[in-house]
Structure 1
């Protein structure tokens, strides 16, 4: 070891050397006349190890279905219906004038209309062009007329692009090249067919739900999904599969709680496609056919046991009241054996009387 030579090897650390913190003079933190605890910097200067809070993991919430955010209802540009009628009338009058110009009007019609006699220039390029212009004006004027109704809306599209929604009523003129889709925006209710559900214990049920809803955003309801009514039906079925429903015979409170939970879930899922759900209430709840017989027997047995417990309680109260009155008024003096015999006889008598009255 004495003949060996040693060499210093520099080691480069992966982190950068930071300057040592300067000592901070410690002083009492006076707040409102009281000495408070040391701050974080003071604790570090004093040599205390800083404490860090552990991040609390956020609860994962189920995300609602997303639709194109740019797809939203906006008003479409339409014209009053009187302009369309006037344009169509002008086009028809132009066609008649071109016919008279070309000499196609019969003499009898000219006499009836008191038109000046004109031999006509015939059907030339100018006449055909005038016919085309007047005919196009007539078609556009009369073809664009539409009637808006209360509670109905028109969703307009041009060459596959959404151009707006018309909620106006009365006669109006819409570009005849636009595709029109009528949407019912009134308040509607839908009564479902029996759907599969389960209660809190997992027992299979059949539920008929009543849904009160309406279309709030016509663009999303028409263009966001293929059929918004089918989508609403699927949302109700999915909610019934996730939310436990109270079985038949439950109180009013649990049934209302189930309805509120169903309403919240269906409203969240259907709101993404422009549907506004006001209420989802189970109007008929019954057990599924495969468990209906067993659950009915169980329910009848529970009612029978409850009735027997009620009858036994009333009999015991009656016997106790009878024995207490006899002894307190001094009508009889009973020892323990006689008291037991009297209680036994009264119990048998009251139970027999209850049994005869129950049928």
Structure 2
């Protein structure tokens, strides 16, 4: 099934034709030409059943005794094939907000996820005849596609090497759009955009995952602190030796490195100990 154009004519021209037939029939009736007058009256009544009005961004599907004849997409007042069944279908852009779905990510963690899908009908014949109800079809397939995409990725990638639902929202939304386009093509629906509107761990594991995220953040912060501390210690010792401020043997150099690392890396303020000299 594929959409095609149906025969149509400007409705006002059709009105003029009907009036002309009625006027001719009335003239013949006055002239007592009964049979030709009746024929003209019947011919005038036939096109009346073909008049239709199409609103902007609306399609009018025309069926002639159970057979698909075509679609009128142009808005206005038209006359088309008489004695046909006509059904309206919206061509406007619409949104579908999915409910919060409970899905297992690729690691088996239960998560809550939801999305919004922006779509429109591009093939009226497919939307009307290929599926039972294209709006219900869009809703069910959107939720199914969202489940499929969500189950392919982890909620969060702690090593940063792979895509994750939380960190790569643009890439996930693009893949979801392609997945929905493939699923909804049979219904003549075009997916303009899809976005995640909700993403969270399920309540039963939310607290445990929060602790894991906090631990990962602390570890990452400590790595940065240690890396900076080592650089600072190397710079301090190099400058002391280069400017000849003090001569350090290996034992004192190790002690100095230890003190500097403790002062820099410690999460509490360091308490300096002043050495006033030796008793010897």
For residues 213-233 of structure 1, what are the alpha-carbon distances to aligned partners after superposition, in whole Å with 9 as ceiling and x for unaligned? 322221111111121122122
Say which of 68, 79, 82 aligns to 2:9.
79
1:170 pairs with one of 59, 72, 76: 76
Aligned match for 1:340, one of 243, 247, 254: 254
CA contact (8 A) 1:195 1:208 kept: yes
Answering whether residue 106 of structure 2 is matched by residue 200 of structure 1, we say: yes
Distance 2:154 2:53 in 1: 48
Does residue 280 of structure 1 match 2:210?
Answer: no
- Asked if the contact 1:216–1:276 (Cα under 8 Å) also holds between the matched residues in 2, the reply is yes
2:56 is aligned with 1:159: no
SS at match of 2:2: coil
Contact 1:246 1:255 survives alignment (8 Å): no
Residue 121 of structure 2 corresponds to which residue in structure 1?
A: 215
Please report how far the alpha carbon of residue 152 of structure 1 lies from its aligned counterpart in structure 2 after TM superposition.
1.4
**Aligned match of 1:185 in 91, 96, 99?**
91
Report the TM-score, using the length of structure 2 for normalisation.
0.74
Q: Displacement, 1:276? A: 2.5
**Aligned pair in 2 of structure 1 residues 248, 283: CA closer, same or farther (>3 Å)?**
farther
Match for residue 155 of structure 2? 247
Cα 1:245–1:159, aligned 2, differ >3 Å: closer, same or farther? farther
1:229 partnered with 2:135: yes
Please state whether the residue corresponding to 1:76 is helix, strand or coil: coil
Within 2, Cα distance between the matches of 1:152 and 1:356?
71
Taking the TM superposition and a 5 Å limit, the aligned residue runs for 1:42-53 are none
2:236 to 298, 322, 328: 322
Which structure shows the bigger proportion of residues in helix conformation?
2
- Could you tell me how far apart the structure 2 residues matched to 1:350 and 1:333 are? 23
User: Is 1:81–1:173's contact at 8 Å kept on the other side of the alignment?
Assistant: yes
**2:165 maps to 1:259:** no
Q: Kindly state the Cα deviation for residue 188 of structure 1 after the two structures are TM-superposed.
A: 4.0
More relative contact order, 1 or 2 (CA 8 Å, 6+ apart): 2
Structure label with greater radius of gyration = 1
CA distance in 1, matches of 2:195, 2:154: 12
Q: CA deviation at 1:89?
A: 4.2
Deviation digits for residues 94-119 of structure 1, max 9, x if unmatched? 99x69x98xxxxxxxxxxxxxxxxxx
Alpha-carbon RMSD across the aligned residues, in angstroms, is: 3.6
Which of 300, 303, 310 is the equivalent residue of 2:217?
A: 303
Aligned pairs for 1:17-96 within 5 A: 71-86=1-16, 89=19
- Counting matched residue pairs gives 258
Shift of residue 328, structure 1, vs aligned partner = 2.8
C-alpha change, 1:162 and 1:290, in structure 2 (3 Å) is farther
Deviation string 1:24-81 (CA, Å, 9 cap, x unpaired) is: xxxxxxxxxxxxxxxxxxxxxxxxxxxxxxxxxxxxxxxxxxxxxxx22121122320
- Partners of 2:51 and 2:113 lie apart in 1 by 46
Match of 1:308, SS state, is helix
Q: Which whole-Å CA distance do the structure 1 matches of 2:62 and 2:203 have between them?
A: 48
TM-score (norm 1): 0.60
CA distance in 2, matches of 1:270, 1:236: 9
